[in-house]
Amino acid sequence: MLYSVLITQLRNQVGDTRRRVHADFTGDGTTTIFQLPLETFPVLDQAGTYILKVAGSSQTENTNYSLDKDTGTIVFLTTAPGNGVAVTWDASAVYLTDQNWLDIINSVIYSLGDDFWKEFIDTAHTATANMLSLSLVALQANAIAVYEFQRRVATTDDWEPVEVNCNWRYSRDENVIYIGIRDAFTLTGELLRIRGLKKYTIGTAVTDTLDVQDKFLTILEYGSIARYWRHRYKSVVELVSKMSQEASRTPLQELIMLSDRFDRLYEIEKSKLKPGKPAHIIPPYKSGGGRP
């Protein structure tokens, strides 16, 4: 699933769907900064969802003007609109931009820590003659554990555990496998297979693929919705006040209760679905196999 798909689902659940907005300004020949009305931003940060015109002529973002989608500030970069010239703004407004949602989702993924993970099997590494260490940083940057380390010379050979010949250990802090003796590997290019666990990859754009397994998406949804309401504490106090039928509660209390509810659901689902680490055999220490 793409981040953008999850964001759309979350928007529908909390009512953060796009709404069309319009604003009119009049140039005075000197003013280059225009502030959008409060109800017309944040601006949905997707292509084709907003347009700025000066005297009916469309302007190009980052050439004619810059836009802060979170604060609704428009800055003309070259020339201020002339005196009496009409400036019009048409856009789709939301409560949170896609970037805001991306940050929220990633914060939930970070909060999962090592309790949730994906298994990896890496066969891309090869041995170097007389190597004493093997870094996983380049190909398995998110690794948190290695519990199987195997070798073979040719693809037709069976995989053989490295611990048959020497001791080895994995350092999570360095993301490196240390090998006990220098002559454990005498050939460069020997094939390796590494099996272990890794943390989720954090996306940097809404077009990235979400790394979390489908069975854990409910946890991600509850955590994201809780953070959404906390993100909107200030902006929705008035709205919640109008909706509330409980005279004994303040609008802020209503909002806090709403975010707390989804926080509890998040914690319940997380504890219920937390996977157990896969079982594996811990190889005995090999005498003469070195101290990796």
Beta strands per DSSP E along 106-186? 118-122, 133-135, 143-152, 160-161, 168-171, 176-179
What average pLDDT does the segment 266-291 reach?
79
Taking the C-alpha atoms of residue 151 and residue 128, their distance in angstroms, rounded to an integer, is 12
pTM over 0.85? The answer is no
Give the model's confidence band at 239: pLDDT under 50 very low, under 70 low, under 90 confident, else very high.
Answer: low
Taking the C-alpha atoms of residue 88 and residue 143, their distance in angstroms, rounded to an integer, is 51
% of the chain beyond a pLDDT of 90: 74
Q: How many CB atoms lie within 10 A of CB 108?
A: 20
The whole-chain average pLDDT of the chain stands at: 90
Helix (H, G, I), strand (E, B) or coil at 155: coil
Give the model's confidence band at 236: pLDDT under 50 very low, under 70 low, under 90 confident, else very high.
Answer: low
What average pLDDT does the segment 201-222 reach?
95
Identify the weakest region by mean pLDDT among 14-23, 257-266, 274-283.
274-283
| Omega prior to 42 cis, within 30 of 0 | yes
Helix (H, G, I), strand (E, B) or coil at 123: coil
Residue in 218, 226, 231, 216 with CA at minimum distance from that of residue 259: 226
Taking the C-alpha atoms of residue 276 and residue 88, their distance in angstroms, rounded to an integer, is 57
Residue 202 has pLDDT above 80, yes or no: yes
Residue 249 has pLDDT above 70, yes or no: no
Identify the weakest region by mean pLDDT among 76-90, 177-191, 222-236.
222-236
Tokens of 271: 């504890």
% of the chain beyond a pLDDT of 70: 92
Tokens of 278: 């896969």
The confidence score (pLDDT) of residue 83 equals: 97
Question: pLDDT for 4-21, tens place per residue?
Answer: 999 999 999 999 999 999
What average pLDDT does the segment 45-57 reach?
94
